[in-house]
Structure 1
């Protein structure tokens, strides 16, 4: 018989306590669960391994987006992040400043790369090279501790100050097994056509390679299937797309797409350079600058659908307020925020802003402390509105639907290899708002512990 140890469990009634214990015991074999639930006065209603550290997966985004709300102007148009274009002699420089929403889609209506192309057309009809410049941040494209096998996919695409179309591109597999793309990758199609069944397709690309291998099966005559794949060098991809837009607009491009990166140096780490603000050279005057919408809109997207790239860009942007835009600078801002919130230093470690790194650790107590502190801040209500709502939207649209917590739970989800997480706020049966963090690790065969977590939270909400 399996038993989950409950070092501390405090609930309204013994019967409710048994229900919670049963819920946690329903988790897959080997699961380690941490849980902390407190009321508005901070009184612990349930505590299980509350001070142990867990891989938080996308619960990391709680810490990153709270730092963004506390540090950046989230309500105003995002002038600072907008991409720019300028001329350097005969070359065109497309520069990114951390905006995650730049788009080259044909139906783009806001934050559109085509607008920058029109600015070039208005000035000249012949250029040489198109340079993708992402030097606003150091060149740290993937976080330490992220699995390399995530790199080819959309969830692990590279991070860059010059981000376009979420730094992904698409491939299409038709009913004849033919694989096509937009020309950015060399495609090695190895898809077999079958007489029935459903499509079963996969893809792989070695890091740094432009060769994408697509394998699997598709039924003859099946409707085309779209695969979304990640990009290794977003600045190059953006410059490549800009070349195409310029040529379509009648500009003669005599050179190639190339990039301008900024190497990571000791000056990008506040621990080695000291805490003095980073001095920056004045930005060259651009031909045009895009002004994306308020940053709060992007934070809402980031939390609702758990967008990894956008979260990691937010970490770099908070790190650029007084630093260089490095991961270390962003981590320093988050650490200062958590110190202000009264979160014990032993309760967390982060290597990224999204939760893709398996090096990240938090305790349930550290998450609850952040959530309680954030609720007291002037931006707290607006930040809470960016969280998914149980049974309503985002990554919680199908969880808690039709239960007493339908529309009454506001929380960030998290899923990574052998890790599930859910932390946020819930409205209990009494109408009181409770703050909670539930973290599960070590499930065998990457099984899910979300059902056990949800059952425990429902039991707590019912008992309180």
Structure 2
């Protein structure tokens, strides 16, 4: 599935040149890149976007000798955005990098640490792919000690309640399958009655980030290492109070249905060191999982990915440990993390601070000759303008349709966009733009300014240097 997705999206890039919470996160198409806004703010009227001509036939695809756009012209776009009256009081950071040469063409406060919103997910995705590889899978297992079966969570939060679907990403592994396999092994051992416990100790520390504002409970679950398909709750505005225990109870019921008598209630306990493995199931590959989380901007999945990274690299699998793991992997990969402050993995925390340049450099590395499978997996997981994910209904009918690939980001007073774009001349550029600190209620205006002043002109640029 991942290979097919990569092939389709890569081909598309080459061919074309590279209600809920504010109507379900405004243009970002919830689930949840936004933090919860207070209902009392004064909503600004939605500005009328400037009409833009649809892309013409001049976009013929990437070419090694495609002309580099004028840095002066591109900087002019960024300057226009920074001074736009639609974003009064905001700080705008823009970095645009020519992928072929690595040259930064635009530095509009690119080194200034700003709140990145969900562009923060790019950092987690790169670090996870780089450290673990796109083929990494999360394992859920059942073990036996004495008369107790323990369900051990390993970071899969897309589990099917019953049978898994090996052709799918969501629901790839099933708790019902795990229970039936465990029941068969128990029967073979002559065991007919057991108690059931849940081991969710892979993750440590708080399950809720103190940097998240009240109200975000609608857009991110308690962070635990096992859940039944967390995406099923993404557009409902409500997550289970204890997703891990819900998964354990689902497993217990399936074990009972498979002919094993389950005594008592499901409780929490770490699996004993000498426990015997009964059965296990594995998630889809990490690259496919990231494609789901990045395209939908799923906060819970990204936080889990950060902790899985931390656990796999020997750090404490907590919010703090995940932030350290991401930062250290970026440093290992040669990125300059000056000014980087990470409170979480998904970008819900306003205290996250990231320079636009760092985000653009990650995109340039991913899209460049040395991006390797890490870069290809990351790019394939990003939404594409007017095609899918949180960009599915954005840039329709403009020159940016199909040529923009990006991670969106939106908080109450921050919008961002981080990805790659192909100019009308066929030049591949990496970029990140962050607009931070506009008045409450100004998100729609800020996003309109970003698109009209920078992104659409950039995609239609035939502005040779």
Deviations 1:32-54 (A, max 9, x none): 22112122323343332212111
From 370, 375, 378, give the equivalent of 2:372. Answer: 378
What is residue 65 of structure 2 aligned with on the other side?
none
1:405 alignment partner in structure 2? 400
Shift of 1:353: 1.3
Name the SS for the 2:460 alignment partner: helix
Native 8 Å contact 1:347 1:366 kept in 2? no
Taking the aligned partners of 1:321 and 1:384, their CA distance within structure 2 comes to 23
1:87–1:93 contact (8 Å) kept in structure 2: yes
Distance 1:242 1:16, change over 3 A: closer
CA shift, 1:295, in A, is 1.5
Range with greater deviation from structure 2 (366-375 or 240-249): 240-249
Q: Are 1:55 and 2:92 an aligned pair?
A: no
Residue of structure 2 in register with 1:268 after alignment: none
CA deviations over 1:36-95 (Å, ceiling 9, x no partner):
21223233433322121111111111010101111113226x2xx211112232222111
In the alignment, the residues of structure 2 paired with residue 117 and residue 72 of structure 1 have an alpha-carbon distance, to the nearest angstrom, of 28
Post-superposition offset of 1:22: 4.2
Separation (CA, whole Å) in 2 of partners of 1:299 and 1:348: 22
The change in CA–CA distance for 1:297 and 1:391 in structure 2 (over 3 A counts) is same
> Which aligned pairs between 1:29-428 and structure 2 lie closer than 5 A?
29-40=88-99, 41-75=101-135, 78=137, 81-104=138-161, 110-122=172-184, 123-124=186-187, 126-151=192-217, 153=218, 155-166=219-230, 227=236, 229-260=238-269, 284-323=275-314, 324-375=316-367, 376-379=370-373, 380-428=375-423
Q: Which structure has greater helix proportion?
A: 2
CA deviation map 1:143-184 (0-9, x unaligned)? 341123212x2x2201111222218769xxxxxxxxxxxxxx
Q: Distance in 1 between matches of 2:339 and 2:325?
A: 16
Could you tell me which residue of structure 2 aligns to residue 429 of structure 1? Answer: 424
Conserved in 1, the CA contact under 8 Å of 2:404 and 2:459? no
In structure 2, the CA distance between the partners of 1:388 and 1:121, relative to structure 1 (3 Å rule), is same
Match of residue 439 from structure 1? 434
**Aligned pair in 2 of structure 1 residues 452, 67: CA closer, same or farther (>3 Å)?**
same
3-state SS of paired residue (1:412): strand
Matched with 2:53 is none
Aligned to 1:3: none
Alignment partners' CA distance in 2, 1:106 and 1:359: 41
Unaligned stretches of 5+ in structure 1? 1-10, 171-225, 263-280
Please give the alpha-carbon distance, in whole angstroms, between the structure 2 residues aligned to 1:344 and 1:369: 9
Separation of aligned partners in 2, 1:431 and 1:156 = 39
Q: 1:106 Cα shift?
A: 7.3
When normalised by structure 1's length, the TM-score is: 0.74
Structure with the bigger percentage of strand? 1
1:101 Cα offset (Å): 2.0
What secondary structure is seen at the aligned counterpart in 2 of 1:398?
coil
Q: How many residues align?
A: 377
User: How many Å apart are 1:96 and its aligned residue?
Assistant: 0.7
420-429 or 35-44: bigger deviation: 35-44
Q: Which SS does the other structure have where 1:422 is aligned?
A: strand
- RMSD value over aligned CA atoms? 2.8
Residues 57 and 340 from structure 1, CA distance in 2 versus in 1: closer, same or farther, beyond 3 angstroms? Answer: same
Question: What is the CA–CA distance in structure 2 between the aligned matches of 1:244 and 1:167, rounded to whole Å?
Answer: 22
Bigger relative CO (Cα 8 Å, ≥ 6 apart): 2
Tell me the SS of whatever aligns to 1:148: coil
- C-alpha distance in structure 1 between counterparts of 2:456 and 2:391, whole Å: 14
Q: TM-score, normalised by structure 2?
A: 0.74
